[in-house]
Structure formats: structure tokens, C-alpha cells
């Protein structure tokens, strides 16, 4: 497959036409030149301050700072940092809630020649302590509101700077320290949702490249107003911070943790927001709670990051927002920043499989590699690899992992190749379809299963607010899938409903064996934390049928067989086998055990035709006089044991074509 970059991918005319709509109505866009990435972030910011000193830079509630005022606040903090630590380059911890002070502190740290580590006070003490220790931050910058927490965490091992103690009446000039574009600007910690958090080191150049790409793709101008909904400890918030303040736009902060989604909806109108940026999950909640009259007349662009966009979000965008509002989907990662982007006005056919992430951005070369590192052909699935000179420097203090993830260009250029761990496929015009995480690909009962595919199907259920899926190992060493669902308000959704719904959309082998209903999903940095999902217990799941205990000896024996094979504490006589997590392989085991216990000739289809204990007990009672001899019994058991899951599933499908109850065709 040939290299695909923004320079050699020709956008289709319809996509180019949509991108040409990405202008503020005033038409005041000024292109971000590539020369401006060969400097430091403070240098670009100070240029913007000189251009727009009296424009509002940041605003939260009734408080606002102009560019001149924000620059003065950042300079005072920079001077205080240098007074405590000198001018040597080193990481500085920034611990604030989502407020204007954190913006000034971040700029102050960069102006002082330091790199910053953004820390949200809502993180656990364990995570904050890990970030401070791992980054080796010698100074923690905070404010009075978070000072007590900060003092507990630093444990006298590092210095503390309270910005509220700085005299804010004193004017302070720019420090004008010589800062190379190669210098370390930030250490961003991954979510730790699949393993331990890792610090990813970014230079000034890599961050400025991202600002350039986003600015030019969506024509951000000094008259735009952008949202900042999350702590800058989140990657999406960090991107919005810089692409706003390095273009003269206004950055409008909203505290999602203390305010409601309903309030966010009104705030977007009140503040005349032109560019909305959030994670996919927050957007979904916003769109679902929007009132008919809320059309956001000032909103020109919705930018979604943090997770792949599913058909549900795309349909909500088309249904709820005014035709003039464009939607941008972006693929990025902590290690690579932005990779691909795509802008639509709704005239787009959503793919049947995967999530659309668009075309490679300038300076990023996209390749798809097989397990042996060879490029795959168009239409085939491969791991997404990015070749660029604008990648992260590597993992902080993890040289071996850096070496394994960031590969040198075999042609000897200054570009490197980053293996993202994401799977994708490319269309003939270079458009990339995201197919999930490589490390979210698990093997269950011999099948390769992509967890994201199941999650995408679950969230299309009208009563599902959020969903997650992971795999667990049973007591006998077999892997099984578990689904985790947050129901919409006042929903009585149960496992039976989800089983029936998914069986119309997905193959049998990817249906979770069990479902758990949670008040909320565990998140870290706005992403699903799979390792924090609770392991399912052996309790009977929440299904449609009420529990009814066995009445006869046959029913008692059957309940014990089902309970043992399905690993649940009790089975009611009217429980559907498939609602309890049964699948074709478990069905062969149940039928085999029933044949042993009752010494009856019982075909595999009998369980599919009689999927409850009561129904199967009736079949057994009816055939009590047809007991098998030892030779016939051994033959039938041997046949069942030799049957593969594919054969069992085929028999199940054959049975379903006959309209068997309990299993929708």
C-alpha cells in the first residue's frame, strides 16, 4: 500500500466543499503558517497578545481576562516559579480544578522554561502521587482552594507554590527565555484504563503542529468562542486550550462536574459559543437532553474526540442540530496527537462497520500493518501506524517501551513510526475507518472478538445510556464476555431485553454471557476504565422471567446442571437458557450432562426448542421410557464431545430457521 498523507490524498469534491464551509461568518480567518511551529508555545502566545491585547482570552462565569491580563498573570507565575526553582528545565506539577487560574499557571510554567504535568484534584490520591513521583516534579503549583490537598500530597518532598499568594497588582514583563521547539513542553499521562498510567512527553513543536493542523482544518479565528469542559489533565482539553489561545479566540470554561448537562445546553447559547468540543459521551448526553427550541444559532462546528463516533451520535447530530452546524470527527492518541479528521454537514453515509475518522492531516503519514509489520492492501484490516516528525518524544523515563513503540524510519529520515494499537481499514480515496483497539481484541471460545463492536451495538439500544464490555476468565480457565450497562432514567431494561436486542445485530459468539447494570461506568481521563469494571458474581442475572423454584426431581436435577455449567447460584424453571448467558458450546455441555444423568437420547436441538427447565423437564418426562443402552449412550456422548462450536452454532441456526421460541431468528 502506498503512503497516505494529507499531501498526496486528494479529497473528494464533496469533502472539499464541506471543508470550505469551515469559516467564521465574519470571514476573518488567518492561516497558521508552518514556520510558527518552529518556536516555543510562549513565543506564539506572546505574538497573539501583541495582536489582540484587549480581546477576551478566557472566561468562566462572571470572571474574564483579556489577553493582556492573562499574559500578565502568567508572567507573575513564571517569575515566582523561577524564583523558587531557577531557570533549569524540569517538570512542574499543575494542580487545579477547571478554572481560569489553571490556564495562567500552565502558561506560566511554560514561560519559565519548565514543562508541566496537569493534575486534576478529582484524581485519586494514589494516581496524583504516582504522577508526581514518576514525573519527578520538584514543584507543585496550585491555589488556595486546593492548597490543603496539595500539602498532604507533596509530603515535604517538593516545593509548593500557591498562586493566590502572588501579588497580582505588580506588572511583570515577558521573561523571553530562549526555549527550543524541541524542548519538553508537557508530560501527559495515559488513562491507565488497561494498564499502569504512562507519561507521554511532548515537545513545543509537536503541540504547535497540532494547533496548526486544527486551526487550518476548521479555520479558527480570533472571533471564535471555544469550549473548555474538562480539566486540562485530559488530552482533548489541552488541545482546545492551545488552539484557542494561540489564535486570539476566546476560551470559555464550563465546570461539568458541578453543573448539569441541561445548564450546559443553555450556557452554549448564552455565551454565543461557535466551536463546541467535548468527548463523544458528553456530546451524546447533551444531544439527548436538548429541547426542540435549542438550536444554537451561533454554533458553527461540533468537534468530537476521545472515542470513535458511532452511528448513534451521528444520527443525534443530524436530528438535533441546525443544518449549518458542521460535525468534525477526529482520531488522535496521546502518543501522536491528531492523526486524521473529517468534517461533515450530515450528507454522509455512515459505514456499516466501524467508525469514520477521515483523512490524514498534514505531516502525518498513515500506514496499516499486519502482525508481521507488513503493509496490508486497501480494504484489509491492519494496525494503524503513523509516520511523522511531529510525534511525542517518547514515554517519560521508559526507554524500552519508547523503543518498542516509536520506530526509526528505515530510510534514515528524522521521521519516526508510532504503532498506535488501533485497528483500521482504508478506502480507495484514503479515508480511514477505525475498527477498535488491538488490545481490546480478545479471544473467546476460539473466536476473535472486538469489544468495541459490542459496545457500539449496545449503545444503539434506546434505553442504554452508556455501555462497556470486557472479558474475564472463569474458574475453569475459560474466557467469557461481560457487558456493563448504564440504563436511561426510569428504564426497566433487563438482561433478556439486551439478549434479544443483540441477537438481531451480532453473531451468537459475541453476545456477552452476563450483564451488569451500573449507576455509572468507571472512567479515567474521560475514558472507560476497563480494569475498574467489577467482576461478575455468580448471582442469577436480572432477566425477564421471575424466579420460580423447581417442583419435581427432574426439574431439581436440571436446575443443578444449568447452574453448574452456567456458573450461577440458582436457576428458575422458567428462565430462558440464553438469557442466563447460555451459548452453543454451553448447550452441548448441558445436553451431554442431561444424557448422562437421565440416560435418554436427546438431540442438541432439544435445548433450543425447549430453552427453559420446565420445558426440558416435560421433554425428559415424555421420553422416560426410552432409556439408552450403554453402547448407545457412549456413542451419543462421544458425538457431542467431538462437536465443535461451529457445528453446534450451525445446528442452532438450523433450529432457528424453524421459528423456535426463545431464540429470535
pLDDT tens for residues 271-317?
999 999 998 878 887 888 887 767 789 999 999 987 788 888 899 99
Q: pLDDT value at position 484?
A: 95
Point out the least confidently predicted range of 9-18, 134-143, 146-155, 324-333.
9-18
Give the largest CA-CA distance in the chain. Answer: 99
pLDDT bucket at 269, cuts 50 / 70 / 90: very high
Rounding to the nearest 10 degrees, give the CA dihedral for residues 383, 388, 392, 396. 70
Is the Cα torsion angle 73, 78, 83, 85 positive or negative in sign?
positive
**Cα 214 to Cα 208: distance, rounded to the nearest angstrom:** 10
- The stretch 603-623 carries a mean pLDDT of 81
Please give the share of the chain, as a percent, with pLDDT higher than 70: 88
Give the residue range(s) of CATH 1.10.1200.10 domains in the chain. 553-656
> For residue 60, which phi and psi values (nearest 5 degrees)?
-145, 115
254 close to 227: Cβ distance less than 8 angstroms: yes
Q: Which one of 3.40.50.620, 3.20.20.140, 3.30.300.30, 3.40.50.1370 gives the CATH number of domain 445-532?
A: 3.30.300.30
pLDDT bucket at 665, cuts 50 / 70 / 90: very low
Give the residue range(s) of CATH 3.30.300.30 domains in the chain. 445-532
pLDDT bucket at 559, cuts 50 / 70 / 90: very high
Place of cell 495582536: 51
CATH of span 553-656: 1.10.1200.10
- The stretch 226-230 carries a mean pLDDT of 91
Alpha helices by DSSP H, listed for 100-187, are 100-111, 125-135, 147-154
Find which of 148-162, 407-421, 507-521 is predicted with most confidence, using mean pLDDT. 407-421
Q: pLDDT value at position 657?
A: 38
Q: pLDDT value at position 6?
A: 55
With a cut of 90, say whether residue 193 has pLDDT above it: no
* 584 closest CA partner among 391, 400, 447, 411: 447
With a cut of 80, say whether residue 584 has pLDDT above it: no
**Cα 140 to Cα 127: distance, rounded to the nearest angstrom:** 15
The secondary structure element, H or E, covering residue 421 is: strand 416-426
Amino acid at each position: 500500500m502506498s503512503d497516505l498523507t494529507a499531501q498526496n490524498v486528494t479529497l473528494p469534491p464533496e469533502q472539499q466543499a464541506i471543508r470550505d464551509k469551515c469559516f467564521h461568518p465574519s470571514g476573518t480567518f488567518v492561516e497558521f503558517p508552518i514556520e510558527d511551529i518552529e518556536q516555543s508555545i510562549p513565543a506564539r502566545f506572546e505574538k497573539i497578545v501583541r495582536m489582540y491585547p484587549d480581546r477576551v482570552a478566557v472566561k468562566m462565569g462572571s470572571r474574564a481576562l483579556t489577553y493582556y491580563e492573562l499574559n500578565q498573570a502568567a508572567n507573575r507565575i513564571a517569575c515566582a516559579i523561577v524564583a523558587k526553582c531557577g531557570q533549569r528545565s524540569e517538570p512542574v506539577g499543575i494542580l487545579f480544578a477547571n478554572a481560569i487560574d489553571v490556564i495562567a499557571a500552565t502558561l506560566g510554567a511554560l514561560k519559565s522554561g519548565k514543562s508541566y504535568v496537569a493534575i486534576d484534584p478529582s484524581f485519586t490520591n494514589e494516581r496524583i502521587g504516582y504522577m508526581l513521583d514518576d514525573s519527578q516534579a520538584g514543584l507543585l503549583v496550585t491555589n488556595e482552594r486546593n492548597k490543603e490537598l496539595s500539602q498532604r500530597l507533596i509530603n515535604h518532598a517538593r516545593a509548593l507554590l500557591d498562586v493566590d499568594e502572588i501579588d497580582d497588582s505588580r506588572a511583570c514583563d515577558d521573561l523571553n527565555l530562549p526555549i527550543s521547539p524541541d524542548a519538553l513542553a508537557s508530560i501527559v499521562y495515559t488513562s491507565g484504563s488497561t494498564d499502569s498510567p504512562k507519561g507521554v512527553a511532548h515537545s513545543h513543536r509537536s503541540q504547535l503542529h497540532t494547533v496548526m493542523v486544527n486551526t487550518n482544518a476548521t479555520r479558527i479565528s480570533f472571533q471564535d468562542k471555544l469550549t473548555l469542559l474538562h480539566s486540562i489533565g485530559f488530552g482533548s482539553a489541552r488541545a482546545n486550550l492551545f488552539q484557542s489561545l494561540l489564535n486570539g479566540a476566546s476560551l470559555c470554561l464550563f465546570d461539568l462536574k458541578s453543573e448539569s448537562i441541561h445548564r450546559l445546553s443553555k450556557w452554549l447559547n448564552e455565551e454565543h459559543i461557535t466551536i463546541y468540543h467535548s468527548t463523544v459521551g458528553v456530546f451524546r448526553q447533551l444531544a439527548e437532553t436538548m429541547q426542540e427550541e435549542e438550536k444554537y444559532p451561533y454554533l458553527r462546528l461540533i468537534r468530537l474526540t476521545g472515542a470513535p463516533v458511532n452511528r448513534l451520535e451521528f444520527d443525534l447530530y443530524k436530528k438535533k442540530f441546525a443544518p449549518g452546524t458542521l460535525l468534525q470527527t477526529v482520531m488522535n492518541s496521546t502518543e501522536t496527537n491528531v492523526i486524521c479528521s473529517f468534517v461533515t454537514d450530515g450528507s454522509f453515509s455512515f459505514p456499516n462497520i466501524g467508525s469514520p475518522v477521515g483523512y490524514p492531516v498534514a505531516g502525518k503519514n498513515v500506514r496499516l500493518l499486519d502482525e508481521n509489520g507488513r503493509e496490508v492492501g486497501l480494504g484489509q484490516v491492519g494496525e494503524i501506524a503513523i509516520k511523522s516528525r511531529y510525534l511525542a518524544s517518547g514515554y517519560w523515563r521508559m526507554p524500552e517501551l519508547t523503543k518498542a513503540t516509536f520506530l526509526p524510519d528505515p530510510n534514515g529520515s528524522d521521521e519516526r513510526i508510532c504503532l498506535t494499537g488501533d485497528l483500521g481499514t482504508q478506502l480507495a480515496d484514503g479515508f480511514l475507518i477505525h475498527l477498535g483497539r488491538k488490545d481490546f481484541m480478545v479471544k473467546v471460545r476460539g473466536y476473535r472478538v472486538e469489544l468495541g463492536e459490542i459496545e457500539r451495538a449496545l449503545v444503539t439500544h434506546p434505553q442504554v445510556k452508556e455501555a462497556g464490555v470486557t472479558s474475564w476468565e472463569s474458574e475453569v480457565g475459560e474466557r467469557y464476555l461481560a457487558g456493563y450497562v448504564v440504563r436511561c432514567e426510569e428504564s426497566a431494561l433487563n438482561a433478556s431485553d439486551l439478549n434479544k436486542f443483540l441477537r438481531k445485530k451480532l453473531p451468537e459468539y459475541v453476545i456477552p454471557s452476563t450483564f451488569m447494570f451500573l449507576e455509572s461506568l468507571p472512567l479515567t481521563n474521560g475514558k472507560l476504565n476497563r480494569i475498574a469494571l467489577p467482576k461478575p458474581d455468580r448471582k442469577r442475572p436480572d432477566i425477564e422471567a421471575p424466579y420460580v423454584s423447581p417442583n419435581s426431581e427432574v426439574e431439581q436435577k436440571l436446575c443443578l446442571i444449568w447452574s453448574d455449567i452456567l456458573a450461577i447460584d440458582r436457576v428458575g424453571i422458567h428462565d430462558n437458557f440464553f438469557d442466563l448467558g447460555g451459548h452453543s458450546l454451553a448447550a452441548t455441555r448441558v445436553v451431554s450432562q442431561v444424557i448422562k444423568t437421565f440416560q435418554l437420547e436427546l438431540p442438541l436441538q432439544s435445548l433450543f426448542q425447549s430453552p427453559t427447565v420446565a420445558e426440558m423437564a416435560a421433554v425428559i418426562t415424555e421420553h422416560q421410557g426410552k432409556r439408552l443402552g450403554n453402547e448407545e449412550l457412549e456413542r451419543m456422548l462421544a458425538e457431542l464431545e467431538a462437536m465443535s462450536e461451529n457445528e453446534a452454532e450451525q445446528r442452532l441456526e438450523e433450529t432457528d430457521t424453524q421459528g423456535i421460541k426463545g431464540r429470535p431468528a
